[in-house]
Structure 1
């Protein structure tokens, strides 16, 4: 009868392979018990792999929406800050111009004009503010400043009213510059996109449209009233003191008249902020739901894993014990 033998070297290799295999399985089970997730998802899921792939796609899409909504929220928040600044300058200039009366001196008129000019410049700067390097009030044009430098617009307006002395003619000329299509504001003042608005996706089925540009009628009326107050106080223009007083009184009325429409613009922006916030809440709820479903699919049974871990640990300990005993076997030991 033939006798099968295993050489010492071959036995060493077999022992090392078994040890390595058990250690690898032990490490895998420790990882599964620690993370709660099966290490071999292919065998763990079986036919449910397509369900996991679908959940992963949904989670990736929601993550993109969440990132986009965060950026959109920051954009809208910065736009609100710009509108708050404009409202503050409108109120300051309006309050200063309101003091002008028929008894106001040229010096007082000039001071009020400087306040109005400062408000005009600050309003233009606010509308030219950027969020993440992109223009906010230029419609679909995210690169250009929506408004020309304030000095350029004031110079153009001064040229428009130069030589006019009648209050009605001056206000009509300024109205025409700002309001008539193809007029000074359209050709010199506004440099953004005049046709469209910024649209941003907030979930799988809804976009938010930011319908506020620097050529919005309310914002133009604000700029127009500030410009009127500034020009009335400009000593370069040959105007009588009475005309200056009348123009600044008109500018004060216009600035207070635009307060409610300006608040409405802020309300429209606030509505867009609410849409983004509601979509973010919905997306977060869906993300949590899909995350729970995914964890259920890929999770390893902790009781089963712990049982297997204990079994492999015992097997490895037994293996080491046998190796130790085999290493002590010799003819001398047997003869003892």
Structure 2
């Protein structure tokens, strides 16, 4: 018959075997991972150095996230300028036909294409990243950096007030120039300072572009000159047609060259960001190596402790089996 002493002894053995099994499982994981499960034992209870390394890794993660955001911002900017350049090229192709010498100028067709180009450009320049305007110096108010409605209305008013093509073009140039009225209306609704991605320790990546860049103003100006022709306050004949032909023939190529130069500036920033990312990855691998070295398990010691635990478990099982046989014999009596 089982006594209270038998039950207590069996309970102790069960607890002991459960503890040994847990130890075997832990040691087996150490063998597989190569890292100790007892950081305090590995570090002799001195966590200061590993804390420094862990803090360094977290700092690198934060910087890597900021650099990733900067990379996506710049990629979006490049894509936007690609779209602007394509719109400029389509308009230029239309102008070459519409204003070809010897043919009747097709101003209405050209103006329609120019308005479509302005719409496409404004859309390309209105993209956002994490709710911040890429070409609006990081503005988060949801407004487009290019207010197309205001732009069309103000440029149409300038065209309507001009007595000839030469005056209209010069007045539109003044409108789009740095400090011009475009900055108080169509291009005025976003911060003046560039968007910045802080990296910590006083370091940061600044985004060197917005819808107020000279290259952007130039393509918008060219499209606006053509788009506003139907509202012109003068007859589009004779000297005015020749002025427009001469003016427009040189603008398209120059505009796209300016956009390409701006993209080159952005590319230089992308290169610096890529260098930072590469440097952070090298630093991360170094710190990870230091952390692994601190927390590495000695494979020989782990194997020895694992063998001892397995031997102990086998002994407990043997004792349990032997006691079970004795208990059965005693019961049969």
Where does the alignment leave 5 or more consecutive residues of structure 1 unmatched? Answer: 1-5
Contact persistence 1:146–1:191 (CA under 8 A): no
1:81 to 68, 79, 82: 79
Confirm whether residue 315 of structure 1 aligns to residue 312 of structure 2.
yes
SS in 2 for 1:158: helix
Contact 2:145 2:187 in 1 (8 A): yes
* Deviation of the 1:313 alpha carbon: 0.7
Counterparts of 1:66 and 1:22, CA distance in 2 = 43
- Could you tell me which residue of structure 2 aligns to residue 301 of structure 1? 298
Give the secondary-structure state (helix, strand or coil) at the position aligned to 1:186.
helix
TM-score by length of 2: 0.89
SS at match of 1:189: coil
- 2:160–2:231 Cα contact (<8 Å) kept: no
Partner residue of 1:134 out of 132, 135, 160: 132
User: Do the aligned partners of 1:135 and 1:142 also contact (CA within 8 Å) in 2?
Assistant: yes
**Do the aligned partners of residues 194 and 67 (structure 1) sit closer, same or farther apart at CA in structure 2, a change above 3 Å counting?**
closer
> Which secondary structure does the structure 1 equivalent of 2:196 belong to?
strand
Residues 85 and 123, structure 1, Cα contact 8 Å, conserved in 2: yes
Query: Which aligned pairs between 1:204-223 and structure 2 lie closer than 5 A?
Result: 206-223=203-220
Alpha carbons of structure 1 residues 189 and 330: separation in structure 2 relative to 1, 3 Å: closer
Measured against aligned partners, the alpha-carbon deviations of 1:167-218 in whole angstroms (never above 9, x if no partner) come to 222122212222262x430122113435200111357563221111111122
Query: Once structures 1 and 2 are overlaid, which stretch shifts more, 13-22 or 168-177?
Result: 13-22
Match of 1:46, SS state, is: coil
Partner deviation per Cα, 1:269-306 (whole Å, 9 max, x = no partner) = 11111111111111111111111111111121122212
Shift of 1:245: 4.8
In 1: Cα distance, 2:244 partner to 2:328 partner: 121
Residue in 2 that maps onto 1:164: 162
Trace 1:239-318 onto structure 2 (pairs within 5 A).
239-242=235-238, 243-318=240-315
2:322 corresponding residue in structure 1: 325
Distance 1:196 1:319 in 2: 74
Change (3 A) 1:326 1:245: same
Answer whether contact 2:39 2:295 (CA < 8 A) is retained: yes
CA distance in 2, matches of 1:60, 1:104: 68
Shift in Å, 1:55: 0.8
Distance 1:144 1:12, change over 3 A: closer
> Equivalent of 1:10, from 8, 11, 23?
8
Greater CA deviation, 158-167 or 37-46?
158-167
Is the 2:194–2:207 Cα contact (8 Å) retained in structure 1?
A: yes
Aligned length: 326
The secondary structure found in structure 2 opposite 1:207 is strand
The CA RMSD measured in Å over matched residues stands at 2.5
**Alignment partners' CA distance in 1, 2:11 and 2:299:** 33
* Shift in Å, 1:47: 4.9
Question: Is 1:41 equivalent to 2:53 in the alignment?
Answer: no
CA distance in 2, matches of 1:259, 1:216: 13
The CA distance in 1 between the partners of 2:231 and 2:176, in whole Å, is 22
Q: Equivalent residue for 1:58?
A: 56
- 1:3 matched to which residue of 2? none
Query: 1:163 Cα deviation (Å)?
Result: 3.9
Comparing 15-24 with 55-64, greater Cα deviation is found at 15-24
Q: Find the aligned partners of 2:123 and 2:87 in 1 and give their Cα distance.
A: 12
Aligned residue in 1 for 2:89? 91
Q: Which residues of structure 2 form unaligned runs of 5+?
A: none
